[in-house]
Amino acid sequence: MKAVILDGFPANPGDLDWQVVADQVDQLTIYDRTPVDQVVSRIADHDIVIVNKVVISADIIAACPNIKLIVVSATGYNNIDLEAAKCAGIKVANVPAYSTTTVAQHVFAFILALTNQVANFNQSVQRGDWVASPDFCYGHKGAITELAGLTLGLVGYGDIAQAVARIATAFGMRVIYWNHRPKVVAGVPGVQVEWLDLVSQADIVSLHVPLTNQTNQMINQEIFSVMKQTAWLINTARGPLVNQEDLSMALKNKQIAGAGIDVIDQEPMPADHPLLGLDQVLITPHVAWASKQARQRLIQVVADNIASFKLGQDLNRLEP
């Protein structure tokens, strides 16, 4: 059985290895990246295709009749045409829950950096403001906000949101959440509320939903007009959940206090992206998931998915 990895760099930029995956197949071909015009030729006669963000469309599936299994080396799978795969008899599996702890940690990296103005204070010190200051401290008038007593609004209430909720309670925060259907998880803090109640009450809104037709650009000017002017927005989920132009205008017009963004609507980021150059936003390059420990777990589950497929089982199988 032959397998090909089309975009292996995100999971393994060189500090890990793919041996556990190689052990499951007769031949493993690894590409760090695959241009769109080379996807079909690189899949060629492979039985198993492993992708992170490379799009496997209906046309590609039709052009590659030998595919038996597609493994998405990520949790999100909107780059795969599941209907076309099912029609072609191709099984599709993903890697859920591997980065829960890491993403929750990144959410709070943003929250703490924003509420403590870490980047602004550091830039000030680096340009010499502390050297020139007559006082032992400066710039702290209204700059730092305690988390205790603030309301954290979680959009979605899956594993990552629940991990964030647990951390929030350690800081003394009140947790509310919105979910597309009623959901109560024993032992996890939080009160479920209606959508507009969440965005209007929350001091921090953190997004934890998949990208679907219903959630695409769910955060837009209408929502920013409802949010508190002192509120922060955190997005470690999917970029298109947020209308980028509307977020840029909301920040420029001080409709909200700031944002922590790990994902945007176009990745890599274009040079003219509307969020570039804004003081009130912290941006990281889609790395909230990418601790070494999380990536090692991801690679292991890719191997586990292949092992399950070989046994005729359906570990982490996706359906349209």
How far is the CA of 252 from the CAs of 4, 180, 255, 265, in angstroms?
Answer: 45, 31, 8, 19
List strand residue ranges (DSSP E) for 73-213, in order: 91-93, 151-155, 174-178, 191-192, 204-207
Distance CA 273, CA 255 (A): 20
Report cis status (omega within 30 of 0) of the bond before 268: yes
Q: Confirm if 53 and 43 have CB atoms less than 8 A apart.
A: no
pTM attached to this predicted model: 0.93
Q: What is the amino acid identity at position 199?
A: V
Q: What is the pLDDT of residue 142?
A: 86
Q: What is the amino acid identity at position 203?
A: D
Distance CA 147, CA 130 (A): 26
Nearest one of 237, 268, 304, 284 to 100, comparing CA atoms: 237
For the chain, where do the domains classified as CATH 3.40.50.720 start and end? Answer: 2-96+292-311, 99-283
Q: Which CATH number fits domain 99-283: 3.40.50.720, 3.40.50.2000, 1.20.1740.10, 3.30.70.3450?
A: 3.40.50.720
- Tell me how many degrees the CA angle 168-285-4 measures, rounded to the nearest 5: 110
Please list the alpha-helical segments (H only) found in 189-291: 195-201, 221-224, 244-252
Give the count of beta carbons closer than 10 Å to the beta carbon of residue 309: 21
DSSP letter for each residue of 216-275? TT-BSHHHHTTS-TT-EEEE-S-GGGB-HHHHHHHHHTTSSSEEEES--SSSSPPTT-TT
Distance CA 295, CA 209 (A): 21
Catalytic machinery residues: 238, 267, 286
Domain 2-96+292-311 falls under CATH 1.20.1070.10: no
How far is the CA of 211 from the CAs of 91, 155, 214, in angstroms?
Answer: 21, 12, 8
Query: Do β-strands 27-30 and 48-51 pair in parallel, antiparallel, or remain unpaired?
Result: unpaired
- Sorted by sequence, the CB contacts under 8 Å of residue 181 that are 6+ apart come out as none
Ordered mean pLDDT values, 10 residues apiece, the chain (320 residues): 98 98 99 98 97 98 98 94 98 97 99 97 96 96 95 98 98 98 91 98 98 96 98 98 99 98 97 96 98 98 99 96
Structure tokens at 61: 């599936």
Distance CA 315, CA 191 (A): 32
Structure tokens at 228: 């508190």
Structure tokens at 94: 């993903």
Q: Confirm if 102 and 294 have CB atoms less than 8 A apart.
A: yes
DSSP conformation class of 300: H
